[in-house]
A and B are shown apart, each in its own frame.
Chain A
Amino acid sequence: VNDPHRGRGAATFSAGHDPARDDAGLLRRIGQGDDDAMAAFYAEHGRVVFAQVLLVTGERSLTEEIVQDTMLAVWRGADAFRGASSVRSWVIAIARRQTRDRLRGRRLRVVDDTYLADQPDSGPGPEAMALDRAELAEVMGAIRQLALAHREVLGLAFGSGLSLSEVAGVLELPVGTVKTRLTAARTALNGILEQKGQNR
């Protein structure tokens, strides 16, 4: 269950493919200056990192710059990987730091909406009904309207192939707080969908 490469958005490639071992091997080769390994690393993780950063920033060109900087950081820092986390969560954490730095430079808030992001779920109610009626396209549109912290936690939980504990590691939060934030994100999503339903 905790294999980060088994979830949605993570490709399983071939018989005998061991993502953890392959990733560690790739990083070793990257640390030795093997640019083919860097290319393989990008093929393995680039798409997921891009999607996560784009979900947070909402800007494609900025996302491309951040992913570029993230991969440069991987190239330079591959030697520093000690295996304390999965490679996927390691690279996503790097991307998150790069994103935070870029958005901070643009005077945009990144993590200071924590209070609002972690407001507890109000429980089952009309909001849940809105989600029950929603079409996928509506949900996608509503996710775009969520607060940054909510988009971020949903992307990590459902788009990055990370376990909940790995999401907590990337966000530097307790697992319980991640659960609270996820629930709050869904509540906010329901609220947006409900509002859209009332405006129809």
Chain B
Amino acid sequence: MNADHTDTRDAHLDLEDLIAGAAGQPVVGRAREHLAGCGECQREASRWNLVADGVSGLADAAPPASQPARPRRTGRPGLSRPWRRALLVTGSVAAALVLLVGGGELAGVVHVHVGQGGGGTDLTAVTGCSQLQQAGGTLEQIHGSSLVIKTASGRPVTVTTTATTFVSQSGNLLGQLTDGASVRVRGPRSGGAIQAALVTIGQPFSAVNPEGPAPVQGTVADASQTGFTLVTPRGARERVTTSGDTLVVVAHARLGQLQAGTAIFALGQAGPDGTLAARAVAAISQPPSGKHLRVSVRDCSTSSIEAAIGRISVAPVSAG
């Protein structure tokens, strides 16, 4: 904090405090106390927050679309294979979830519909993008960068991933809500606390935007089994309660985080031997019971695919 100003008892927040706050880091101690009572600093913080939101908005609006930087040549031996590797492992449990991809009837919009029954082959064409196939079922095994899905037909499908495969994970993943996590919380307020219905961890993706209360962004502090304190970029602290109904979405998960037995959905290009080279994967540990998901995609773009995955991730609280 900087030197005293003539019209305030405490020093105003300095630029470093404001930048840190706008960058999502908690404002603590005297700075937080000062911010709570200083209108000038609150206005300054709000301006910087808007600038930061603008930068984040530009980043969200232009996700990387192409194949990642696969090393093209190297003097190091042993990199003759690509990052994408196919590993065929047999499965055992019938899929509980059937996910069908339908037509993209509304430009710029991705829909997920929940319906009864349904079924399909192991890999199903995706209407609206002839390059894409989809597979859904139960995650049986993860091996390196590949995973095996048991489809509704009972047959295993091997899904290969690369560095740019978009992987999301959703469910009652309260253990992921640890101190320092950057989150967006949605839910009704009651008794001075937010009753979390949906918590998104990490960078949100566009489709995680269901109807309902506007999200509150911040950082997790004092995490416990019943909730946590949300520290907003402006330094405000709000109590958030969680329960068995709270849906947690890890927007950019790692394959290693996924659990066997989870309902899973993958979009990608069909490869040899019935494998699927995934562009996106969604793991859902709380799928809508006894239902199947029907997804409409706009086009083959990465943003459309990620939007579809986002919709699937929040299907337990938004599909209907």
Q: Do A and B bind each other?
A: yes
**Which residues does chain A contribute within 8 Å of B79, judged by CB atoms?**
33, 35, 75
Q: Are A54 and B62 in contact (CB under 8 A)?
A: yes
Q: Are A15 and B178 in contact (CB under 8 A)?
A: yes
Q: Are A43 and B56 in contact (CB under 8 A)?
A: no
Number of residues of chain B lying within 8 A (CB) of chain A: 68
Q: Complex Cα distance A128/B257, Å?
A: 45
**Which residues does chain B contribute within 8 Å of A157, judged by CB atoms?**
19, 23, 52, 55
Q: Are A46 and B64 in contact (CB under 8 A)?
A: yes
B251 at the interface (CB under 8 A from A): yes
Docked complex: A136-164 residues within 8 A CB-CB of B: 136-137, 139-140, 142-144, 154-155, 157-159, 161, 163-164
Type the 1/0 row for B17-50, where 1 means its CB is closer than 8 Å to any CB of A.
0011011111010000000000000010011101
Q: Are B16 and A155 in contact (CB under 8 A)?
A: no
Type the 1/0 row for B66-96, where 1 means its CB is closer than 8 Å to any CB of A.
1011111011111101110000000000000
Q: Complex Cα distance A155/B23, Å?
A: 10
The verdict on A71 contacting B68 (CB below 8 Å), with A15-B176, A128-B47, A143-B58 known, is: yes
Tell which of A11, A36, A38, A131 has the most Cβ of chain B within 10 Å. Answer: A11
Smallest CB-CB separation from A73: which chain B residue? B69
Q: Are A12 and B23 in contact (CB under 8 A)?
A: no
Q: Are B219 and A142 in contact (CB under 8 A)?
A: no
Q: Are B54 and A136 in contact (CB under 8 A)?
A: yes
Smallest CB-CB separation from B250: which chain A residue? A13
The verdict on A134 contacting B50 (CB below 8 Å), with A39-B145, A46-B64, A67-B69 known, is: yes
Q: Complex Cα distance A15/B28, Å?
A: 23
Counting residue pairs across A and B whose Cβ atoms lie within 8 Å, the total is: 209
Type the 1/0 row for B111-145, where 1 means its CB is closer than 8 Å to any CB of A.
00000000000000000000000000000000011
The verdict on A6 contacting B219 (CB below 8 Å), with A47-B252, A158-B23 known, is: yes
B55 to chain A, nearest CB (A): 4
Q: Are B164 and A46 in contact (CB under 8 A)?
A: yes
**Which residues does chain A contribute within 8 Å of B55, judged by CB atoms?**
55, 143, 154-155, 157-159
Smallest CB-CB separation from A70: which chain B residue? B69
Binds B, one of A81-89, A107-115, A182-190: A182-190
B172 at the interface (CB under 8 A from A): no
**8 Å CB contact of B62 from A17, A60, A72, A158:** A60
Q: Are A7 and B54 in contact (CB under 8 A)?
A: no
**Which residues does chain B contribute within 8 Å of A13, judged by CB atoms?**
176, 201-202, 250, 252-254, 257
Q: Complex Cα distance A59/B253, Å?
A: 28
Docked complex: B190-208 residues within 8 A CB-CB of A: 201-203
The verdict on A9 contacting B175 (CB below 8 Å), with A47-B203, A67-B64 known, is: no
Docked complex: B163-185 residues within 8 A CB-CB of A: 163-164, 167, 175-176, 178, 180-182
B51 at the interface (CB under 8 A from A): yes
Q: Complex Cα distance A11/B22, Å?
A: 16
A99 to chain B, nearest CB (A): 14
**Which residues does chain B contribute within 8 Å of A143, judged by CB atoms?**
51, 54-55, 58
A26 to chain B, nearest CB (A): 11
Q: Are B83 and A12 in contact (CB under 8 A)?
A: no
B15 at the interface (CB under 8 A from A): yes
A31 to chain B, nearest CB (A): 9
Smallest CB-CB separation from B57: which chain A residue? A140
Docked complex: A1-40 residues within 8 A CB-CB of B: 1, 3, 6-17, 33, 35-36, 38-40
Smallest CB-CB separation from B162: which chain A residue? A39
A90 to chain B, nearest CB (A): 15
Smallest CB-CB separation from B78: which chain A residue? A33
Q: Complex Cα distance A148/B295, Å?
A: 40
B1 at the interface (CB under 8 A from A): no
Q: Are A12 and B52 in contact (CB under 8 A)?
A: no
B36 to chain A, nearest CB (A): 18
Identify the B interface with A (CB < 8 A).
Answer: 15-16, 19-20, 22-26, 28, 43, 46-48, 50-59, 61-66, 68-72, 74-79, 81-83, 144-145, 161-164, 167, 175-176, 178, 180-182, 201-203, 219, 233, 250-254, 257
Q: 9 interchain pairs (CB within 8 A)?
A: A8-B23, A36-B145, A47-B63, A47-B64, A50-B63, A71-B70, A154-B55, A158-B51, A159-B55
Which 4 pairs show the lowest CB-CB distances between chains A and B? A71-B69, A11-B202, A42-B163, A51-B59
**9 additional contacts, CB 8 Å, given A1-B20, A7-B20, A134-B50?**
A9-B56, A10-B203, A33-B79, A35-B71, A67-B64, A68-B70, A71-B70, A75-B71, A155-B59
